[in-house]
Amino acid sequence: MAIVNRTPDSFYDRGATFHFDDALRRCAEVVEAGASIIDVGGVKAGPGDEVDAEEETERVAPLIAAIREQHPAVDISVDTWRAAVADAAVDAGATIINDTWAGFDPELVEVAGARKVGYVCSHTGGATPRTRPHRVLYDDVVASIIHTTTALAERAAGCGVPVEKVFIDPTHDFGKNTFHGLEILRRIEEITATGWPVLMALSNKDFIGETLDRPVGERVAGTLAATAWCAARGVAAFRVHEVAETVDVIRMTAAIQGAVAPLNTVRGLA
Tell me, yes or no, whether 10 lies in a domain.
no
Tell me, yes or no, whether 25 lies in a domain.
no
CA dist 133 and 34 (Å) reads 33
If you compute the radius of gyration of the chain from its CA atoms, what whole number of angstroms results? 18
pLDDT digits (tens, 9 = 90+) for 151-193: 999 999 999 999 999 999 999 999 999 999 999 999 999 999 9
208 near 223, Cβ under 8 Å? yes
CATH number of the domain bearing residue 220? 3.20.20.20
Q: What is the mean pLDDT of the chain?
A: 97
Tell me, yes or no, whether 17 lies in a domain.
no
209 near 216, Cβ under 8 Å? yes
The CB density around residue 245, as the number of other CB atoms within 10 Å, is 16
Catalytic residue list contains 44: no
The answer to pTM > 0.75 is: yes
Tell me, yes or no, whether 64 lies in a domain.
no
- Number of domains comprising the chain: 1
Select which of 26, 155, 205, 219 is catalytic: 205
Tell me, yes or no, whether 99 lies in a domain.
yes
Candidates 43, 63, 46; CA nearest to 55 is: 43
Q: What are phi and psi of 241, to 5 degrees?
A: -95, -45
CA dist 131 and 74 (Å) reads 31
Residue 221 has pLDDT above 90, yes or no: yes
Report the pLDDT value the prediction gives residue 11, as an integer from 0 to 100.
Answer: 85
Catalytic residue list contains 205: yes
Beta bridge partners of 76: 38
Tell me, yes or no, whether 86 lies in a domain.
yes
